Amino acid sequence: MADDNELAALLAGDRRAWDRFVRRYAGLIVSAVRSLVREGTEVEDIVQEVFTRLCKDNFRLLRSYDPARAGLTTWLTIVARSTARDLQRRYRPPMSAIEDVPETVLAVTDSHAEPLKLPADLLSPRQQLVVTLLYEREMDVAEIAQLLGVDPQTVRSTHHKAMLKLRSYFATENR
C-alpha cells in the first residue's frame, strides 16, 4: 500500500511517485474493470480513463481519498468500477423508438394455444395451485401467501420446488 509520504509526493507532482503508483495499482484497477467489462480494448480504454480521472485537475479525485473511510485499494476499486459503469452508460448504443420497430417483431404469437399436458402426479396439489395463481391469475407472492394463509417464503419455496420438477421433466422430454 502507498503510505502517506508516497501519496504526498504523488500529490506534489513527483513523476516517479506517479509511476510507482501506476505500477503498483494498475493490476488492481484492471481487475476491477474486467469484472464489469469483458472486451480487451474496452478494458484498456477504461483503465486509462481511471488513471486520467485520478490525476485530472491537479489530482482532485485522488485528493478526495479519505483513509479513515476506506483502504486505498478499496477506494481505487470503487473508483475503477464507477468509471467503468459511467463509460458503459455513456456509450451504450441508442435504443430504437418503438415506432421504428417493425410490427412483426413486436407481434405476440399464440404459440401456446394448447395447454401443456403434464403427468397428473408431477406436481403436488399445492405446487399446482401456486403455479396457477402465479402464472395464470398473475398474482404476486404476497397475495398468494395471504390467500393461502401461509408465509410468503413458503410460497416462494413451493414455486421453486415446482419449477425444479418442471425443468427436470422437460429436460428429459426433449431428449
Taking 70 as the threshold, does the pLDDT of residue 110 lie above it?
A: no
Q: Whole-angstrom Cα distance, residue 113 to residue 104? A: 19
Q: What is the pLDDT of residue 116?
A: 66
Cell of 45: 480504454
- Point out the least confidently predicted range of 87-101, 107-121, 130-144: 107-121
Q: What is the pLDDT of residue 7?
A: 86
H-helix or E-strand spanning residue 155: helix 152-173
DSSP string, 71-115: -HHHHHHHHHHHHHHHHHHHTSPPPPPGGGS-HHHHPPP-TT-SP
Q: What is the pLDDT of residues 155-173, one digit of tens each?
A: 999 999 999 998 888 887 6
Query: Can you give the pTM of this predicted structure?
Result: 0.51
Name the 3-class secondary structure at 47: helix
Q: What is the pLDDT of residue 1?
A: 46
Which CATH number is 120-173 given?
Answer: 1.10.10.10
| CATH for 4-90 (1.10.1740.10, 2.70.150.10, 1.20.1060.10, 3.30.1950.10) | 1.10.1740.10
Instruction: Break the chain into its structural domains and give their ranges.
Output: 4-90, 120-173
> C-alpha angle 64/68/74, rounded to 5°?
70
